[in-house]
Chains A and B, each alone.
Chain A
Amino acid sequence: MSENKKKAVRRSGFRTNRKLQLGATATVLTVVVIAAVMVFNVIVGILYDRFPWALDLTADSTYTLSDESREVAKKVNQDLEILVFMDEAMFASPTTESEDANVILRQFYRFTQDYGTLSGGKVTTKYLDMEADPTLATKYKEYEVDSSSILFRTKDQYRVISIDDLYKEELDSTTYSYVYSSLVEQKLASTVNAVCGGKTVTLTFLTGHGENEQVIASMKSLYELNGYTTNVLNLGSATEIDETTEAMIIVGPTSDYSIEEITRLRAWLSNDGKLNRDLLVMCNYLGSCPNLYDFLKNDYGVTVTDNLVVETNTDNYLQMMGEMIPITSIEGSDVTPDLDGEKVMMPYTLELKTAFGTDTEAEAVTNHPLVEFPESAKLIAQSQLTENTEADPKDAEEYPVIGMVYAKEMRQTSEHAGVTNVIVSGSYLYPITSSMTQYKNEALTLEPIRTIASLGDTVVISAKDLSSITLSYSVSDARAIQIVMIAVPLILVAISLFVFLRRRHL
């Protein structure tokens, strides 16, 4: 082979080797970069699982835990496992037809992540899709779960809630559309509290005397959301009373309690002299309960009259569904410390009178007004309503007119010191009267109970209303918008055609 040919072969070999080298280097570099990007994203994902920080851009911080919830999460002092028997994707990126439902599901997903972070990892959430794996029902049969259940469990306790407990649906009487409120925060906080060794307090609703079922259901729901256990009891027929019951509640009875029932109630409240039991009586303006009212008058100084309170000042009532509902203020007291001056709607309220003063050092039983009506309030005799005679409002004998009273009995012996709290309300409808945020009906339903039958760390978290504003477009507005939405793209298409025709010869 000539020298030149040999040189040519060596040169081409050298070029091929260099090409191989550069190609291999480029390939390796590409693979390394791809791997590095993937690994980096995996690390960021792991970091996010540990520190799920996110910017909540929503106007009412829909996806941000309130301070109260954050406190509950931080106070978790034992391992708590939340098992959700549904597909995680349903919560992580929900695609239901209802945007409100999607918000609720996302809230649950985010909030459980936040609980995990705030509790220092003690709260863990797992998603076990029971529809994909039906054997889970058998595996967890002791908890009686199904495919809509969410199980909260610690070493010693557990609670099962349903996905339906995460929201509340109410019919808006003005628009006749359903309004959804998210209860995710409340439910999480109360269930976590209950499972993590929170005190169990039972509130017992007495029945059997025409009590109002709707109000009872509403109150039960509210108290259970806030960590209480509730049950119902017919005092006349029940053989025993749950020993964890701290308060009994009577909601708008229409018929009277018997002497035996009153005796039993008195004995329960006395608790062998130890007291520390409570009673809430909500009177029904259509009811006739002489035994019950005598008991309240003789034992606690609260007289339930048969006068219905009505308002004559237009500033002090609200017209709602054809009724004129009085509005008044709450008085601050031991059981309403945070509600002083707040407005409340009090429909169909019977006038109450008190026999005792407020000085707890001077008297064993004291009376503290919680809701009072001003001088614009008038009274209508109950008989005028029941006999359908024309209502003739009269001035009260004294003002302010009391609509709700808190009676406190204190007893101190060498062995015991106890308090019995009895709250008497002239109205039984105030818990369900208003969900408007400017009236504190819900707070008036909850706070006195929270105070007298304390759970310790109960949190009061308001439900988040998810309903959005409804806009109104006139026919012409809608037509104009449609025209603009069609015209703009058409104009652009016309311009593109013009440009195409002008430039096709270039």
Chain B
Amino acid sequence: MRAVFKREFKTYFTSPIGYCVLAIMFALTGFFFVASNVQYATPDMTVVFQNLQSYMLILVLPVLTMRLMSDDKRQKTDQLLLTAPVNLVGIVGGKFLAAILLFAIGCSMTLVCAVIIAFQTTPDWLVIFGNYLGLLLLGGMVIAIGLLISSLTESQFIAALGSFLASLVLILTDNLKTIFDSKIVSAVVDFLSVNQRYSSFAAGTIQYDDIIFFLSMQALFLFLTVRLMDRKRWN
């Protein structure tokens, strides 16, 4: 896993993708920070994190995950990976960790913004770290979904599009309650709604059911990716 992780992480910085992803994340963070905190002179970074949540899902994570598996398929290097004496879990895990580390570096711009605030007042560091944790958990889940989608195709564009659509579904899930006036639909939406689950982190509270949800979804989609690769290995 370590070798795969190092290779993938290095690839992000030996190709334009890593820099582009970081540029987008830093630009978004900076924009929301200036538009809310600087313009309205408030130390509360809730608006920054809430906007980041939406834009990360739609813009950044599809780009981050589009080449994870599909690039190997396109260049036929997946054959090497599949036939190598490497645990499939290690391969998938290494790629996942590389993506999430890059995502974490991109999110760290929010901590830079908090440091800027700290020059004037003491920001609510625990709330900021809670938001950061929420972003990482949510981002991890979407990265895992992106990884699965990327393993289904060798076209990076299709992988990105698939991830984008999946993110859109996640964001718009809450609207199903207003479209379908049904208790069952409401219950399912409440269960699956990432907006509701993330909102507790945004508020400054950490609930154990949300953490377990995000971690279990990450594990589930990584498991599905491993199953897919295992099927390819034996076909």
* Contact of A471 (CB < 8 Å), options: B47, B117, B195, B207: B117
B46 to chain A, nearest CB (A): 6
B81 within 8 Å of A (CB atoms): no
Interface residues of B in 8-25 (CB under 8 A from A): 13-20, 22-24
State in angstroms the CA–CA spacing of A305 and B14 once bound together: 87
**B204 near A41: Cβ-Cβ < 8 Å:** no
A265 interfacial by beta-carbon distance below 8 Å: no
| Residue pair A497, B16 in contact (C-beta under 8 Å) | yes
Q: Is the CB of B203 within 8 A of A106?
A: yes
Q: Which residues on B sit within 8 Å (CB–CB) of A267?
A: none
Indicate if the CB atoms of A471 and B19 lie closer than 8 Å: no
Question: B191's contact among A41, A132, A496, by CB below 8 Å, is which?
Answer: A41
- Interface hit among B64-72, B119-127, B155-163: B119-127
Tell me if A42 counts as interface (CB < 8 A to partner B).
yes
Decide if B196 touches A93 in the complex (CB within 8 Å).
yes
Closest Cβ–Cβ distance, residue A93 to chain B (whole Å): 4
Pick from B24, B31, B206: contact of A57, CB under 8 Å? B206
In the assembled complex, the Cα of A80 lies from the Cα of B43 at a distance in Å of 39
| B177 contacts chain A at the CB level, 8 A cutoff | yes
Cβ contacts under 8 Å, A417 to chain B: none
| Complex Cα–Cα for A496 and B26 (A) | 14
When the two chains form their complex, are residues B204 and A478 in contact, meaning their CB atoms are under 8 A apart? no
Q: Which residues from 29 to 45 on chain A have a C-beta closer than 8 Å to any C-beta of chain B?
A: 29-30, 33-34, 37, 40-42, 44-45
* Contact between chains at B204 and A62 (CB < 8 Å): yes
Chain B residues lying within 8 Å of A2, measured Cβ to Cβ, are none
Q: A30-B224, A469-B43, A492-B23 are in contact. Are A499 and B30 (CB under 8 A)?
A: no
Whether A496 contacts B205 by the Cβ 8 Å rule is: no
Secondary structure class of chain A's binding surface, majority of residues: helix
Q: What is the bound-complex CA distance between A390 and B231, given in angstroms?
A: 98
Q: Determine if A48 and B207 form an interchain contact, defined as CB atoms under 8 angstroms apart.
A: yes
Contact, CB under 8 Å: B220 / A37: yes
Asked if B227 CB lies within 8 Å of chain A CBs, one says: yes
A42 and B209 CA atoms in complex are apart in Å by: 9
Contacts of A24 in B (CB 8 A): none
Q: Is the CB of B204 within 8 A of A63?
A: yes
Min CB distance B58 to A, Å, is 17
Contact (Cβ within 8 A) A59 B126: yes
Q: Does B84 contact A (CB under 8 A)?
A: no
Which residues of A in the span 451-477 have a Cβ within 8 Å of any Cβ on B? 468-473
- Is A54 engaged at the interface, CB distance under 8 Å to the other chain? yes
Interface size, chain A (Cβ < 8 Å) = 58
Instruction: Please pick, from A29, A44, A48, A489, the residue contacting B30 in the complex, using a CB distance under 8 A.
Output: A489
Q: How far is the CA of A132 from the CA of B186 in the complex (A)?
A: 13
Q: Which residues of B sit under 8 angstroms from A33, Cβ to Cβ?
A: 220, 223
Give min CB distance, A45 to chain B, whole Å: 6
Cα distance, A489 to B13, chains bound together (Å): 15
Chain B residues near A94 (CB-CB < 8 A): 199
Interface assignment of B168: CB less than 8 Å from any CB of chain A: no
Interface residue? B180 (CB, 8 A): no
A488 B205 Cβ-Cβ under 8 A: no
Task: Tell whether A485 pairs with B42 under 8 Å between CB atoms, given A44-B213, A47-B209, A99-B47.
Answer: no
Residue from the list A59, A102, A481 in contact with B38, Cβ < 8 A: A481
Q: When the two chains form the complex, which single residue of B23, B31, B230 contacts A496, counting CB atoms closer than 8 Å?
A: B23
Does B87 sit at the interface, judged by CB under 8 A?
no
Report B198 CB to chain A, min CB distance, Å: 8
Are A92 and B42 in contact, CB atoms less than 8 angstroms apart?
no
Contact partners of B169 in chain A: CB under 8 A: none
Please tell me if the beta carbons of A469 and B121 are within 8 angstroms of each other in the complex. Answer: yes
In whole angstroms, how far apart are the Cα atoms of A214 and B13 in the complex? 66
- Say if the beta carbon of A173 comes within 8 Å of chain B: no
Q: Tell me how far the C-beta of B118 lies from the nearest C-beta in chain A, rounded to whole angstroms.
A: 11
A54 and B34: CB pair below 8 A? no
B34 CB to nearest A CB, Å: 6
Q: CB of A389 within 8 A of chain B?
A: no
Whether the Cβ atoms of A493 and B19 lie closer than 8 Å is yes
Instruction: With A41-B213, A468-B44, A500-B16 as known contacts, state yes or no: A486 contacts B30, CB within 8 Å.
Output: yes
Is A495 engaged at the interface, CB distance under 8 Å to the other chain?
Answer: yes
Contact of B43 among A23, A63, A468 (CB under 8 A): A468
Q: How far is the CA of A254 from the CA of B193 in the complex (A)?
A: 60
The answer to whether A489 touches B24, judged by C-beta atoms less than 8 angstroms apart, is yes
With a cutoff of 8 Å between Cβ atoms, the chain A residues found around residue B117 in the complex are: 471
A60 to B217 alpha-carbon distance, docked (Å): 32
Q: A58-B205, A497-B16 are in contact. List 4 more A-B contacts (CB 8 A).
A: A29-B227, A485-B34, A492-B19, A492-B20
Chain A to chain B contacts (Cβ below 8 Å), 30 pairs = A23-B231, A26-B230, A29-B227, A37-B217, A41-B216, A53-B207, A54-B206, A55-B206, A56-B204, A57-B126, A58-B124, A58-B205, A59-B126, A63-B203, A89-B174, A92-B199, A102-B203, A110-B205, A471-B37, A471-B41, A471-B43, A471-B121, A485-B33, A488-B23, A493-B20, A495-B19, A496-B16, A496-B17, A496-B19, A499-B16
The 4 closest A-B CB pairs, nearest first, are A485-B30, A496-B19, A496-B16, A492-B23
List B residues at the A interface (Cβ < 8 Å): 13-20, 22-24, 26-27, 29-31, 33-34, 37-38, 41-44, 46-47, 116-117, 120-121, 124, 126-127, 129-130, 174, 177, 181, 190-191, 193, 195-196, 199-200, 203-209, 212-213, 216-217, 219-220, 223-224, 227, 230-231, 234
